[in-house]
Structure 1
Amino acid sequence: MDDAHRRWIADRETAVWSPHGIAALASTHWLDGGDRTYDGAPGRWRQDGDTIVGTDLPGEVRLAAGEQAQVGDVVVRAHLRDGTLALRVLDPQAAAQRGVSEIVRAPYDPALRVTGVFTPIALPSQTESVDGFRSSTVYDGTVSFTLAGRDLELTVTRDDATLFAAFADATSGSESYAFRFLRPPLPDDDGHVTVDLNRAYLPPCAFSDHYACVFPPPGNRWSVPVRAGELRVR
């Protein structure tokens, strides 16, 4: 294992287990325009256009999508999905109360770092989240690569920094969580992409039922096992 991968693991540990990190999500409350209290959230909360407003606090709190504020020991965050706002509450005690404290990882295997080829193509697809919410996504292309003699393909989106994919494999639901995420780097000028499955990581919903992660698209559900990266939460 090289130093870069050790740093990646350290960054993941911080992102997940810090006091208001990924594992700290205690609740998600979808707002409906009413002004009311919500379990675990101090104060009263309502939606005002594209903003969440909190009152009965030491001062009014206004949060646009993606913004957050600390109120006492908890952090409250505004989350947007298809035009609907939710109030999320991150509590430093949430992970301990659920009894989760460790990510189980597979041993690092350099053979699971391969080169793929990115093909840009718009791929509209219906999607479903773990809470049953249905929507649609236009994926940005595919990454084709060979793993242990098998030709595989990832349907991906892309942003300014990386590609992104959710995938499931033959270990999903038994040796590993139901699905995992991967963020390959952007392709080079020739379309080549490094696919490092050692950096497969658990989705937020592996740490808290209050996330609403999207299941992998059909092309990202493989019949081969991928014993790499993060496997499950202990």
Structure 2
Amino acid sequence: MSEPAAIVTGAARGIGRSVVTGLLAAGYRVVAVDVSPAVADLAEDGRVVPVVADVTADGTPGAAIERAVTGFGRLDLLVNNAARFLRRPILETSDADFDGLFAVNVRPAFRFARAALPHLIESGGCIVNVASISGLIGVANQSVYAMTKGAIVQLTRQLAIECAGRGVRVNAVAPGAVDTEFMDEARAADPDPAASLAVTLSNHPIGRMSTPDEVARAIVFLAAPESAGITGTILSVDGGYIAR
């Protein structure tokens, strides 16, 4: 059997970049999709094919899947990771904020999954979505972001039920705060970044944020044969946040 193939969205940095690295170590070949040209840095001897594209564009899901199926001969895993963050009180949140966040965080995950499923059914593959603890619990000033991640949680559960009889597993990880540029940029917009960081750390019983590699390892685990009995699960990687 040929080596398995995966597509990872939002692959240029943070969790997505670590997922690409983890999948390579697990023997996958990867189509790495990101709007940032920095995704080209991931190219590695034909084992990683970077695709610089906006996940919200109509042609991106089909083009990425075509690259995997044509270049690698198969598709075994889809990791829907691309997302934007927004921390803003609802009274200050515009319709444009709402529409823009759903356009990036939800619609592409649906469209990539729909386009990938025929190939995943053929290979007996799986989908791992990146949700968030914000999609599982209430977090102040994250109303729209939390709604998008709640949608990812429900997409995961619904697809798991719909696809179980066709041999495709669908799971998600739900990170808490992760030590990435994504988080640094969000915190820099706070009036008091140091105080914001202190609150974040106090909310995580392990006393620190998770690392991108820790989240990536959970994703690789959910994609592995050892997880063959797991579907419809939302695996929290949150340092104990929602166990409090």
Task: Flag whether TM exceeds 0.5 (same fold).
Answer: no
Which TM-score band applies after superposition, normalised by the shorter structure? under 0.3
The structure carrying a bigger strand percent of its residues is 1
Give the TM-score normalised by structure 2.
0.21
The structure carrying a bigger helix percent of its residues is 2
Structure with max Cα Rg: 1
Give the TM-score normalised by structure 1.
0.21
